[in-house]
Structure 1
Amino acid sequence: MNVAMDEYGNPFIILKEQEQKQRLKGIDAHKSNILAAKSVADILRTSLGPKGMDKIVVSPDGEVVVTNDGATIMEKMNINNECGKLLVELSKSQDAEIGDGTTGVVILAGALLERSVELLEKGIHPIRIANGFEHACSIALKKLEEISLNNGKISDINNDLLFNSAMTALGSKVVSSQQEHFAKMAIEAVLAVADLERRDVNFDLINIQGKPGGRLEESCVVHGIVLDKEMSHPQMNKKIDNAKIALLTCPFEPPKPKTKHKIDIKNSADFDVLFETEQKYFSDMIDKVVSSGANMVVCQWGFDDEANYMLSQRGLPSIRWVGGVEIELLAIATGAHIVPRFEDLSEDKLGNAASVKEVTSGTEKDKLIFIEGCSKSKAVTVLIRGGNQMVVDEAKRCIYDALCVVRNLIRDSRVVPGGGASEIASSIAVQKAVESVSSIEQFAVEAFADALLSLPYALADNCGLSSISLVGEAKQKQISLENPSYGIDCDNLSVGNMEEVKVFESLASKQHQLALATQAVKMILKIDDVIKPSEVF
């Protein structure tokens, strides 16, 4: 790349290999963009639903991830195409806002793009297609509200719709064998920190920890904080009741001047003086902790070996090298002040917890610290166990999805039938509205109705069933019985009433899916010019 000057002295850039640039525009650009985005969406199609397949994604540095979570697959994939990256952002947006439905939103966007190609080949202008999709989306969103079931104000841990919605979210996951246990865990964790009056959930108070070496059914919710640490000295107490905790961000070490320095030790007397000075320094530190009334120390930094021994001798259990996030969470939960200097430590800056205990897990002497009964907060920790790290990581993603579903229902308690029933009902409503659209946009509205069926088609295909006959049967039952609850029952491999089999999804999640997918497709349809080097494909 060279910089040259024009006749007025203004700099401009000369790009090398300018003549080798190729340019896509018009219908070719539209088709290229749509084909690239659709190929990305097709990858996720087989991961939808309880019978969906998992993917192994290998990162450039060799890290292996086994998952069927749409957002994780999209994030880990190495996608170079610009429009393919738009679908990655689409999945991230669904995950950030809703937490669930990341696979469905990408599949729906891919189906809309596929129908768009057919309309473009008929000579319909992309803007007219985008307008038709927007109109159809508004009809579908309205239909979703009409068929939704209102759960009222949620405050009971035994709420059926809450439980069934969490079960639906977990049905397609690696934890499906323990989905009832994980659904109860998600409800317990969210209701423990929820502000039901404001219908809000502070996710910062829910910490998800994983520890390989156990079984999935050993996973539990701890009403407090769990630290993947152990007591700094093996002779310290393993259980402390009515703990008064000092949170320190200063190390138990001798002071280190910031300037260059050295200590000259010429004889044994000098060494004795140094040793006694260190002993006195550590003793003063511990005296300040004890005089504050603390009976436990949690420190962000390390301990000198001598200081660690003295802490043990004084009967002061301590934990070292605790991360900044955990320190902050402990401060919120216990009501402690984070103290940067020993001189600032006082009784009013201590935190309180009913019990602190060290628990051994597995046979490898791995230890966990449970801090329960925190005085100032409703913080909880979801502790996930699994056979290996891959299972634990995927189980953590599963419980996160379930937590998000429960949180969404606390914010908006309305649900819609799952199993593709809501998409079929929306498709029927959009199809009926086609005749009321007088312009050429009715082709786009009709295409939108067809695209909505892509989700139930994918569900049926992943069950190994004939998708055309099964979706057709569900559609016929919805129309003839005037009941929008008929969808694909993946457990019984047939068409079923989703209300009877208790398969529900959050209305907010479905609405967000439709709106986001439509917006992304409209954006791609409006791209009509792509400039890129010829060697890049």
Structure 2
Amino acid sequence: MSAVGQLVFDEYGKPIIILKDQDQQKRLTGVDALKSHILAARSVASILCTSLGPKGLDKLMVSPDGDVTVTNDGATILKMMDVEHQIAKLMVQLSQSQDDEIGDGTTGVVVLAGALLEKAEHLLDKGIHPIRIADGYELAAKKAIENLDKIAEEFIVDVSDKEKLVLTAMTTLGSKIINRCHRQMAEIAVDAVMAVADLESRDVNFELIKVEGKVGGKLEDTMLVKGVVVDKDFSHPQMPKELKDVKLAILTCPFEPPKPKTKHKLEVTSVEEYQALHTYEQEQFVQMVDKVKAAGATLAICQWGFDDEANHLLLQKELPAVRWVGGPEIELIAIATSGRIVPRFEELSPDKLGTCGKVREISFGTTKDRMLVIEECPNTKAVTIFIRGGNRMIVEEAKRSIHDAICVVRNLVRNNKIVYGGGAAEVSCALAVSEEADKISTLEQYAFRAFSDALEAIPLALAENSGLSPIHTLADCKARQVAEKNPALGIDCNSRGTCDMKEQHVIETLHSKKQQILLATQLVKMILKIDDIRTPGGGEMQ
């Protein structure tokens, strides 16, 4: 049995597949199937096209629960879209893979893939076989990447001079909703990465960067905390709001009396039995607190909760505590304070305690929301970006934007080659691919020219989104790149009066640009090789 039907054999032993519900199935083959794929992919790309660049527009999405999200991050838009067509789903995955690998360029990669498929449709209409188109695209992508390597420049990552890194992060944030405090956010992203980066092995541990957000205040109140911010407060309102020279017991065991691990029930039949049980519980609480105090801890951080009785006892014994701290936060606190996570009270000892200079509780506005800040930790590599904003939507978008900026700075630490943005790299590659097409005598020259035209879709979209005349602006940019032999000339989206992206400091990582071209080409090649769709009546494609 297969997913679609049953295998039977005739009298000569030849297999025949009997398909289920064949009368209800719709089938597209050959060029019709390819045109269906291309239409689906282009419709997805056209939605994202208007979000490209610093003047790109945002999209407002409403979830089935009524939650509103406003963003122009390509991966987020596609993730939240309700996509039915399987090829459109591939476009969503394309954007997601760019986000996972690079963290930036999620809109550009989808726009490029849509443009490549649009140009492939014109070639199919001319009667060129899809395999020849796919092969031509692959060769053209290699040529484009060669050209990127040629025009790339070395970027020196220097902890003492972070200006260039800040300018690169500002390029990423230029199209985001938070560009009102453009430079501040870029500096926070750079400082966070530099705090956790290992420049010798050229690696950045993302686990050490935590991004927290709280509604209230304004974006300018966003700050970088050299330590950990936990969205909890002290378990009792009368506990001190600030502690200094703290020794932390990091516990994953609850402040509760041990429960019998059997299926037997404990029945209390008299007042005396109840009082004996209560006395036993009290003794257990006291023992637990005494063990923590005996180890020398001045603050208990517990993954689980504890009841009011235990809470009151902690206050009496002058042991401040925090309860219901999540697993990731517990791990981060342990890393930052050089402490050990203790699963049982019996295992608690002075050498397993974490240390930090200060733990303070901060409150916000009139809502009295409270959070804990653990600062002056021995391991200064753990940092928290604490984002403020007028509403939840702004805070969430700021988190996504900061994530993109952090990813770009991380990529520069790993691979310090850069190209110039604003469509400059795409125009340069388009010219190189077009030039190569003139040297080819086979049918692939058509695919090369189509690839060159598709690369121009990104500068065209940038110009259109900036309110410029797309064709005139692109033609001028191409002519100047050829005449001046300057691959840094792009689209002046911000109306600065110069098209030289080097002067405007619009910088992108080489790795990101290469990845965009490679991922888009691979997806398009795969789509061009699918020539048969069988759709069950009213269902999705198999």
TM class, shorter-length? over 0.9
> Match of 2:441?
438
* Counterpart AA for 1:262: L
> Match of 1:197?
200
* Counterpart AA for 2:308: D
Tell whether the 8 Å contact from 2:45 to 2:114 is kept in structure 1 after alignment.
Answer: yes
Q: Could you tell me how far 1:256 is from its partner in structure 2?
A: 1.9
Structure 1 distance, partners of 2:258, 2:477, is 75
Q: Secondary structure at the match of 2:232?
A: coil
Structure 1 distance, partners of 2:537, 2:254, is 58
Structure 2 distance, partners of 1:344, 1:323, is 21
Q: Is residue 107 of structure 1 aligned with residue 111 of structure 2?
A: yes
Q: Could you tell me how far 1:257 is from its partner in structure 2?
A: 1.9
Q: Could you tell me how far 1:195 is from its partner in structure 2?
A: 0.2
Q: Could you tell me how far 1:491 is from its partner in structure 2?
A: 1.1
> Match of 1:36?
40
Q: Could you tell me how far 1:142 is from its partner in structure 2?
A: 1.2
Q: Could you tell me how far 1:493 is from its partner in structure 2?
A: 6.8
Q: Secondary structure at the match of 1:235?
A: coil
> Match of 2:431?
428
* Structure 1: unaligned runs, 5 residues or longer: none
Q: Is residue 94 of structure 1 aligned with residue 98 of structure 2?
A: yes
Structure 2 distance, partners of 1:2, 1:480, is 59
> Match of 1:229?
232
Q: Is residue 513 of structure 1 aligned with residue 501 of structure 2?
A: no
Structure 1 distance, partners of 2:474, 2:356, is 56
> Match of 2:393?
390
Q: Secondary structure at the match of 1:439?
A: coil
Q: How does 1:197-346 map to 2 (within 5 A)?
A: 197-258=200-261, 259-264=263-268, 266-267=270-271, 269-346=272-349
Structure 2 distance, partners of 1:186, 1:16, is 56
The structure-2 alpha-carbon separation of the partners of 1:292 and 1:421, relative to structure 1 and needing over 3 Å to count, comes to: same
Structure 2 distance, partners of 1:314, 1:427, is 72
The structure-2 alpha-carbon separation of the partners of 1:288 and 1:42, relative to structure 1 and needing over 3 Å to count, comes to: same
Q: Could you tell me how far 1:304 is from its partner in structure 2?
A: 1.9
Q: Could you tell me how far 1:213 is from its partner in structure 2?
A: 0.8
Q: Secondary structure at the match of 1:251?
A: coil
> Match of 2:73?
69
Q: Could you tell me how far 1:143 is from its partner in structure 2?
A: 1.2
Tell whether the 8 Å contact from 1:423 to 1:456 is kept in structure 2 after alignment.
Answer: yes
* Counterpart AA for 1:115: K
Tell whether the 8 Å contact from 2:229 to 2:373 is kept in structure 1 after alignment.
Answer: yes
Q: Deviations over 1:139-185 (max 9, x none)?
A: 11111111112112x13253332111100000000101111000000
* Counterpart AA for 1:393: E
Q: Deviations over 1:44-76 (max 9, x none)?
A: 000001111111122233332111000001111
Q: Could you tell me how far 1:262 is from its partner in structure 2?
A: 3.1
Of the structure 1 ranges 370-379 and 196-205, higher mean CA displacement relative to structure 2 is found in: 370-379
Q: How many residues align?
A: 534
Q: Deviations over 1:227-283 (max 9, x none)?
A: 00000001112111121111111111222223342342533x555433332222111
* Counterpart AA for 2:456: L
* Structure 2: unaligned runs, 5 residues or longer: none
Q: Secondary structure at the match of 1:100?
A: coil
Q: Deviations over 1:422-444 (max 9, x none)?
A: 11111111111111111011000
* Counterpart AA for 1:321: W
Q: How does 1:346-365 map to 2 (within 5 A)?
A: 346-365=349-368
Q: Secondary structure at the match of 1:133?
A: helix
> Match of 1:79?
83
- The runs of at least 4 aligned residues of structure 1 exceeding 6 Å deviation read 1-5, 10-14
The structure-2 alpha-carbon separation of the partners of 1:439 and 1:362, relative to structure 1 and needing over 3 Å to count, comes to: same
Of the three residues 114, 117, 121, the one matched with 1:117 is: 121
Structure 1 distance, partners of 2:469, 2:440, is 33
Structure 2 distance, partners of 1:175, 1:284, is 51
Q: Is residue 142 of structure 1 aligned with residue 156 of structure 2?
A: no
Q: Could you tell me how far 1:135 is from its partner in structure 2?
A: 1.2
Question: Please, what TM-score do these two structures have when normalized by structure 2?
Answer: 0.95
Question: Please, what TM-score do these two structures have when normalized by structure 1?
Answer: 0.96
Structure 2 distance, partners of 1:13, 1:450, is 44
Q: Secondary structure at the match of 2:515?
A: helix
Structure 1 distance, partners of 2:291, 2:269, is 30
- What's the C-alpha RMSD, in Å, of the aligned pairs? 2.0
> Match of 1:164?
167
Tell whether the 8 Å contact from 1:178 to 1:216 is kept in structure 2 after alignment.
Answer: yes
Structure 2 distance, partners of 1:264, 1:526, is 73
Of the structure 1 ranges 18-27 and 506-515, higher mean CA displacement relative to structure 2 is found in: 18-27
The structure-2 alpha-carbon separation of the partners of 1:363 and 1:14, relative to structure 1 and needing over 3 Å to count, comes to: farther
Q: Deviations over 1:204-237 (max 9, x none)?
A: 1101111111110100111111100000001112
Q: Could you tell me how far 1:138 is from its partner in structure 2?
A: 1.1
The structure-2 alpha-carbon separation of the partners of 1:527 and 1:290, relative to structure 1 and needing over 3 Å to count, comes to: same
Q: Deviations over 1:398-437 (max 9, x none)?
A: 0000000100111111111111011111111111111111
Structure 2 distance, partners of 1:228, 1:12, is 63
Of the three residues 482, 485, 488, the one matched with 2:485 is: 482
Q: How does 1:408-427 map to 2 (within 5 A)?
A: 408-427=411-430
Of the three residues 370, 373, 376, the one matched with 2:373 is: 370
Q: Secondary structure at the match of 1:53?
A: coil
Tell whether the 8 Å contact from 1:237 to 1:315 is kept in structure 2 after alignment.
Answer: no
The structure-2 alpha-carbon separation of the partners of 1:6 and 1:423, relative to structure 1 and needing over 3 Å to count, comes to: closer
Structure 2 distance, partners of 1:353, 1:99, is 33
Percent sequence identity is: 53
Structure 2 distance, partners of 1:441, 1:13, is 38
